[in-house]
């Protein structure tokens, strides 16, 4: 779909990206606007996709110390206006100059807090779903490592291309794109990661570019596309981008210090220093500009090195009485003034003034209409199917995790079975039954910690894909939860229950085994859902692991096994209703102890004539109600309640993840 960004359909229902802080709730009706034939009167800019920014500033609040409550403002970008026509547009500058911030502002990825100014696409406000209309390649290669190059591209095509496209058309587009990207030799190879052998860094970068090109966007943004690549690979990636720009696409990227052969591929450069515009114009005129302000590039010197050397020049010799901070301010103002006095700035302001005038005239003569959200390319169930298939492939191609979980489950089941092998009905048997019941529940709780990886491991991938309009948060959430619970929980729980029930010697009938299995199963599922809720809200595994450990310890403490519930202060006793440990131990205790009689062993002989302990009496001592069937099954409702609450919290937290930079 070779359409400009302003004409492509909306396919995302996330929060509206406020590219321009001045975008009103109602915007001009440009449904009949022909961008390709738009004319800026005195400018021959037709048949292009032109991005213009007008007085863009970005200010963030930072703390001087982590524990200090005072904030101070830091200016990242200051009153920047510029033009980015179709072609290769490089944003350059030293570290901390605001390159990535400016790129994220232009691409609609930046959080609007502290952002001011206006962004126009061909003289029009960008559509509400602008960041879904363009391609955006992050600095870090975010792609599913267990899938092949072709599978990753097919995943993007299945979710982002119109539903009217047949599977053959999608495959044809993917095959064509693979050939254009030079990935034919590795099309069926896994992308790979730190732990999985895969394709090279350059091939990964081209794969990430391909994921964005699948919809044929007119505008492509890239954040440091050459980072981590050797010189040859970096050149091949940039040469690919150059070929795309020659087809009329607008390629905008931040880059630090490229070599000369890469620099020669640029059409226009934007040079930043401390958040101000030090130069913007055609690449072949940059050296002339610096010569005009007294800086001459020596022969055989790389122009990009020369630019950074100039703006990073020391000022202490010229202004020895100023502090370092004042020297930076003085130097920033100097380069800003140099550019504003140049013919390049005059040309830039004239162009932006014409664009603003045309936009104001358009707003006066055009009717207004409210933006209407449009559906995703794929339906909810189609998204659920595609994401589920990928999740199962990822699980199948990572057998270590599932295999290790089953092996550990078998090991623990056998160890528990040997320790508590064939319990008798003596008093010692009562104590051992209580011990094994508590241990089984706690073991199943902590064995569910593997569920912490579900959202943590793919957090960055989810944020990228969801913000780019691949799928709804609901379809992703349901697919991931289902594909974790079914293969990763049901089989290990079934194996564990069969081994332990037979070896320990619990009541040997089908009904009691069914209650035992249901209890262990729901304990595992509930613990997993609690893990989902915690993992969806944090970005570091260490933090999630600490939080889940703290939650489980409190559940154990208020289970009534370590401390009798009646001995706790009244205002603490309600916490037992939030303890899945209590629900599990109560269910297994009723199932196993109700109706049993435990006799003491005197001189090695069991004597049931004296000091008999009945299981029913023990349950009453523990404040466990057991007389009616409801006393057994209402604990299962407690599991259901905790599962639903945990899943709702996990989904809402996942939905509210900040997808802006």
**37 secondary structure, DSSP code:** G
What is d(CA 234, CA 249) in angstroms, rounded to the nearest whole number?
A: 20
Q: Identify the pLDDT of residue 357.
A: 81
Radius of gyration of the chain (CA): 32
Q: Identify the pLDDT of residue 4.
A: 38
Residue 195's pLDDT band (boundaries 50, 70, 90)? confident
Beta strands 135-137 and 219-223 are: parallel
Percent of the chain with pLDDT over 70: 85
> Is the sign of the CA dihedral 272, 276, 280, 286 positive or negative?
negative
Residue 551's pLDDT band (boundaries 50, 70, 90)? very high
Per-residue pLDDT tens digits for 196-232: 788 888 888 889 999 988 888 889 999 988 888 888 8
Residue 295's pLDDT band (boundaries 50, 70, 90)? confident
Say if CB 122 and CB 208 are below 8 A apart. Answer: no
What is d(CA 77, CA 399) in angstroms, rounded to the nearest whole number?
A: 48
Per-residue pLDDT tens digits for 518-543: 999 999 999 999 999 998 988 888 89
Instruction: Please report the DSSP string for 105-169 in residue order.
Output: HHHT-S-STTEEEEEEETTBPPPTTHHHHSEEE-SS----TTSBHHHHHHHHHHHHS-TTS-HHH
CA angle 58, 61, 63 (to 5 degrees): 150
Q: What are the b/e assignments for 320-339, b being 16+ CB within 10 Å?
A: eeeeeeebeeebbebbbebb
Query: For 51-134+219-311+324-365, which CATH class?
Result: alpha beta
What is d(CA 123, CA 52) in angstroms, rounded to the nearest whole number?
A: 8
Q: Which two tokens stand for residue 30?
A: 């440009």
Q: Identify the pLDDT of residue 438.
A: 93
Q: Identify the pLDDT of residue 322.
A: 58
What is d(CA 58, CA 76) in angstroms, rounded to the nearest whole number?
A: 5
Q: Is the pTM of this model over 0.85?
A: no
- Neighbour count for residue 528 (Cβ, 10 Å): 26
Residue 136's beta-bridge partner residues?
221
Q: CA of 318: how far to CAs of 300, 321, 330, in Å?
A: 28, 9, 11
Question: What is the chain's mean pLDDT, rounded?
Answer: 82
Residue 24's beta-bridge partner residues?
none
Say if CB 51 and CB 268 are below 8 A apart. Answer: no
Q: Which two tokens stand for residue 55?
A: 């007085």
Give the pLDDT mean for 590-614: 75
- Using DSSP's 3-state secondary structure scheme, residue 516 falls into helix
Give the pLDDT mean for 244-264: 89
Q: Where are the domains of the chain?
A: 51-134+219-311+324-365, 142-216, 380-656
What is d(CA 659, CA 661) in angstroms, rounded to the nearest whole number?
A: 7
Per-residue pLDDT tens digits for 345-377: 888 888 888 888 877 777 776 654 444 455 678
Give the pLDDT mean for 444-459: 88
């Amino acid at each position: 779909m070779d359409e400009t960004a302003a004409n492509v359909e909306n396919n995302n229902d996330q929060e509206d990206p406020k590219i321009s802080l001045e975008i009103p709730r109602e915007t001009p009706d440009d449904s009949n606007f022909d961008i390709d034939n738009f004319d800026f009167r005195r400018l021959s800019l037709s048949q292009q996709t032109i991005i213009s920014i007008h007085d863009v500033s970005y200010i963030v609040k930072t703390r001087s110390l982590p524990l200090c409550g005072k904030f101070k403002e830091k200016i990242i970008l200051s009153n920047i206006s510029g033009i980015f026509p179709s072609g290769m547009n490089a944003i350059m500058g030293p570290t901390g100059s605001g390159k990535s911030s400016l790129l994220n502002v232009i691409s609609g990825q930046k959080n609007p807090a502290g952002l001011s100014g206006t962004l126009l696409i061909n003289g029009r406000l960008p559509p509400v779903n602008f960041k879904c209309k363009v391609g955006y390649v992050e600095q870090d290669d975010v792609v599913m490592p267990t899938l092949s190059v072709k599978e990753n591209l097919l995943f993007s095509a299945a979710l982002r291309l119109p539903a009217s496209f047949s599977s053959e058309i999608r495959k044809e587009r993917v095959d064509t794109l693979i050939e254009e990207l030079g990935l034919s030799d590795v099309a069926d190879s896994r992308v790979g990661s730190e732990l999985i052998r895969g394709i090279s860094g350059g091939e990964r970068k081209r794969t990430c570019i391909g994921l964005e090109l699948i919809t044929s966007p007119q505008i492509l943004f890239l954040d440091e596309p050459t980072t981590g690549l050797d010189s040859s690979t970096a050149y091949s990636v940039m040469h690919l981008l150059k070929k795309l720009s020659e087809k009329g696409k607008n390629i905008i990227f931040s880059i630090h210090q490229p070599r000369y052969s890469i620099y020669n591929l640029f059409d226009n450069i934007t040079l930043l220093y401390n958040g101000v515009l030090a130069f913007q114009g055609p690449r072949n005129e940059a050296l002339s500009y610096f010569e005009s302000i007294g800086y001459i590039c020596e022969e055989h010197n790389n122009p990009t090195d020369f630019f950074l050397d100039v703006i990073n020049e020391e000022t202490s010799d010229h202004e020895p009485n100023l502090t370092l901070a004042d020297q930076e301010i003085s130097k920033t103002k100097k380069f800003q003034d140099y550019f504003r006095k140049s013919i390049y700035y005059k040309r830039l302001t004239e162009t932006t003034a014409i664009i603003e005038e045309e936009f104001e005239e358009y707003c006066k003569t055009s009717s207004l209409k409210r933006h209407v959200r449009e559906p995703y390319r794929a339906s909810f169930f189609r998204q659920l199917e595609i994401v589920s298939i990928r999740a199962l492939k990822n699980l199948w191609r990572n057998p270590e995790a599932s295999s290790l979980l089953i092996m550990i489950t078998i090991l623990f089941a056998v160890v528990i079975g040997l320790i508590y092998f064939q319990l008798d009905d003596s008093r010692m048997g009562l104590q051992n039954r209580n011990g094994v019941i508590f241990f089984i529940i706690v073991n199943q709780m902590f064995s569910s910690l593997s569920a912490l990886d579900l959202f943590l491991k793919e957090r960055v991938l989810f944020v990228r894909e969801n913000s780019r309009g691949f799928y709804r948060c609901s379809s992703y959430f349901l697919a991931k939860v289902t594909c974790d619970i079914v293969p990763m929980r049901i089989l290990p729980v079934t194996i564990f229950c069969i081994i332990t029930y037979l070896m320990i010697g619990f009541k040997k009938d089908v009904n009691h085994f069914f209650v035992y299995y249901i209890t262990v199963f729901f304990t595992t599922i509930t613990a997993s859902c609690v893990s989902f809720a915690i993992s969806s809200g944090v970005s570091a595994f260490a933090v999630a692991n600490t939080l889940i450990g703290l939650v489980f310890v409190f559940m154990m403490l208020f289970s009534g096994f370590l401390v009798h519930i009646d001995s706790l202060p009244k205002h603490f006793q309600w916490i037992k209703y939030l303890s899945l440990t209590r629900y599990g131990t109560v269910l297994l205790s009723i199932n196993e102890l109700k109706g049993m009689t435990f006799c003491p062993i005197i001189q090695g002989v069991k004597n049931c004539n004296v000091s008999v302990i009945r299981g029913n009496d023990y349950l009453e001592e523990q404040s466990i109600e057991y007389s009616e069937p409801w006393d057994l099954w209402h604990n299962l409702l407690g599991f259901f309640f905790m599962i639903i609450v945990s899943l709702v919290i996990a989904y809402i937290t996942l939905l509210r993840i900040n997808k802006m930079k």
